[in-house]
Homo-oligomer: A and B are copies of this chain.
Amino acid sequence: MDRLDHIRAVALELFAGKGYEATTMADIGDAVGMRAPSLYKHVTSKQDLLAEIMTATMRELLVANRAAVATTTDPVERLRRATEAHVRYHARHRREAFVGNREIRSLVEPHRGRVLDLRAEYETCFRDLVRAGIAAGAFSVTSERLASYAILDLGMGLAAWYRDDGEHSEDAVVWQYSEFALRIVGSGR
């Protein structure tokens, strides 16, 4: 991990633990063992750190989504695999999901608009998958938007309760939640 990655990881942990507002650049410097002048060689501000963490999270989700969808042309399998990627990301990146959900109001423009645009783009991916399944006669849904929101909510909820040492393995949760997503669109078994 290079120096900047280390600073971001430490900032993420502090933002998740005590919140963005309550975290100072001095806290981040202490945790990485750097004084302010050195720290400011790597990052321009606390706000930039938050923006980088949140945009990186959304970009990773979009990349994972595209990779999953590209593996099949079947609309049911596409939604299943996109949901698997979504749920697995949230199981593995609980801090990013938590901070992303909690600190959106701490972002200022232009960062806030950019993250909201990336979120809208990600939500559109799921809505398009739902729409394609309806067009193919595989799904039955009243509101494509609410169905895609509900599927996305499964990931965010999971990030709040999932634990690596919990009762359910990551795979078990990924497979069950993906089955729930297919059931939500009227295509599950």
Contacts and interface: CB of A to CB of B under 8 A. Distances in A.
Main secondary structure of the interface of A (DSSP, over half): helix
Contacts of A150: 154, 157, 176-177, 180
A53 interface: no
Interface size class on chain A is 35 or more
Given A21-B19, A22-B19, A101 B160 contact: yes
Interface string A153-187: 11011101100000110001100110110011010
Nearest to A153: B157
Interface of A: 17-22, 98, 101-102, 105, 142-143, 145-147, 149-150, 152-154, 156-158, 160-161, 167-168, 172-173, 176-177, 179-180, 183-184, 186, 188-189
